[in-house]
Amino acid sequence: MLSDKTIEIVKSTAPLLALAGTVVTEHFYNRLFSHNPELQDIFNMANQRSGRQQFALFNALAAYAQNIDNLAVLKEALARINHKHTSMHILPEHYPIVGGHLIGTLKELIPEQFTAEVEYAWREAYALLADICITEEAALYEHSKNNHGGWSGTRAFVIAKKQPESELVTSFTLVPVDGKAVMTHKPGQYLGIKVKPAYAQYSEIRQYSISQQSNGENYRISVKKELLPAAGIVSNYLHSLDVGSVVELYPPAGDFFLRANKKPVVLISAGVGQTPMLAMLQTLLCDTSNQAVTYLHACENILQHSFSQFLAEQAAAHTRLNYYTWFNQGGEGAEFTGLMNVSAVAEQLPLEEGDFYICGPTGFMAAIKQQLLVLGVAAERIHYEVFGPHQDL
């Protein structure tokens, strides 16, 4: 429990973090990586260069400080962070390191405002947040370890199949080297994958959504080769691997998954954002409840249209599946040309009761969310996943 005094100080000094800006975040990460260079094997250094992750941590801390007397409002955001942390095996001993550099940064950069009293309050508040995270993450680790087919830390998987799905996306079927079962994942969840390309300076961890329903034996991920503005380290490395190569996986994680409420479902994706949708779609179509499903997908053109054959087969086999495609550049193989506009199919959407799942670039997701809100879909029925540090749409 925090004292009233601590709560008051932390709330009143929260703007220090909210206004932190790049000077403070850069100082913090420089300090972190120079004192604890081993953490460069955990953090995505490309996200560091773009600053995306830098702001994610400070924004989360600022939100915590602002809501320190009503932590319930942070439940969803914290759950998302905890899942992401477990996909990289963040451990209790990492928390004091991050906390120490945070306090050190504020002391060094804003000594007038960051008095001894303020420092004491922040140390207490950070310890409480760290405790909450450590407890939640311990529960997730326990679940993964004790589940049938589960494990803890990394586990070696061999690439058993490599299947090109389109110009840029290739699927990899990953089978555990130990030949044992793999734990069930919720449709929509992702895996943390850890690799060390010979040419890379550090080990690299990335998340990839599992692009098939659970089968107890293997996982499939489908990876877009990132070419612009610079070749992405892990995606290009994975594309270069042959069948028989071994990668290391952390257990499935993620809080973006299909709700088990039997309501009509609309799965909306752009580009490689359809990976979690495929796991959801397969799961829904195997279910006997006859739930209605609408699958809306957007991509550039027919060459970039992944899983087109699978989707056409599913639509032909299941009358309860409505499936529409948008090609930005037009051409054969899609019902619509240009950017996706869901109002074109609004009459067929379960606007009043359905759950809407969105995945794709953030600009795409923001536009679709706005369209759905205008059509009257309640915000709490719109769920989305960002393929990077979370952003509010």
Ligand X SMILES: Cc1cc2nc3c(=O)[nH]c(=O)nc-3n(C[C@H](O)[C@H](O)[C@H](O)COP(=O)(O)OP(=O)(O)OC[C@H]3O[C@@H](n4cnc5c(N)ncnc54)[C@H](O)[C@@H]3O)c2cc1C
Distance CA(211)–CA(274), nearest Å, equals 8
Backbone angles phi, psi at 332, to 5 degrees: -65, 150
237 is a catalytic site residue: no
Strand partners, 158: 175, 246
Question: In terms of DSSP H, where are the helices of the chain?
Answer: 4-18, 21-35, 45-50, 52-66, 75-86, 94-109, 116-146, 233-240, 275-286, 308-317, 362-374
Q: Does residue 84 belong to the site contacting ligand HEM (CB under 6 A)?
A: yes
Cα first-last separation, the chain: 33
Q: Does residue 298 belong to the site contacting ligand HEM (CB under 6 A)?
A: no
User: What is the sign, positive or negative, of the torsion defined by CA atoms of 17, 21, 23, 27?
Assistant: positive
| Residues numbered 15-54 forming contacts with ligand HEM, rule: CB under 6 A | 39, 42-44, 47, 53
Number of C-beta neighbours around residue 187 at 10 A: 24
132 or 158, CB closer to ligand HEM?
Answer: 132
Q: Are strands 246-253 and 265-270 parallel, antiparallel or unpaired?
A: unpaired
354 or 389, CB closer to ligand HEM?
Answer: 389
Question: By beta-carbon distance, which residue lies closest to ligand X?
Answer: 232
Residue 234: contacted member of ligand X, ligand HEM, none (CB under 5 to 8 Å, by partner type): ligand X
Strand partners, 219: 174
Residue 90: contacted member of ligand X, ligand HEM, none (CB under 5 to 8 Å, by partner type): ligand HEM
Cβ 181 to ligand HEM shortest distance, Å:
29
The two tokens of residue 249 are: 């996986």
17 or 349, CB closer to ligand HEM?
Answer: 17
Distance CA(340)–CA(372), nearest Å, equals 12
Residue 134: contacted member of ligand X, ligand HEM, none (CB under 5 to 8 Å, by partner type): none
206 or 369, CB closer to ligand X?
Answer: 206
> How many Cα atoms occupy the beta-carbon half-sphere of 257 within 13 Å?
20
313 is a catalytic site residue: no
Q: Among 16, 80, 89, 211, which residue sits at the site for ligand HEM (rule: CB under 6 A)?
A: 80
Taking contact as CB under 6 A, which single stretch among the options 79-87, 245-253, 260-268, 313-321 is the one that binds ligand HEM? 79-87
Q: Is 348 in contact with 294 (CB distance < 8 Å)? A: yes
- Give the residue among 90, 74, 384, 65 at the shortest CA–CA distance from 209: 384
Q: Among 14, 133, 221, 279, which residue sits at the site for ligand HEM (rule: CB under 6 A)?
A: 133
Question: By beta-carbon distance, which residue lies closest to ligand HEM?
Answer: 390
Taking contact as CB under 6 A, which single stretch among the options 126-134, 145-153, 192-200, 304-312 is the one that binds ligand HEM? 126-134
Catalytic residue among 29, 64, 126, 137: 137
28 or 256, CB closer to ligand X?
Answer: 256
What amino acid positions are annotated as catalytic residues?
95, 137
Footprint of ligand HEM (CB under 6 A): 39, 42-44, 47, 53, 56-57, 60-61, 80-81, 84-85, 88, 90, 94-95, 98, 129-130, 133, 389-390
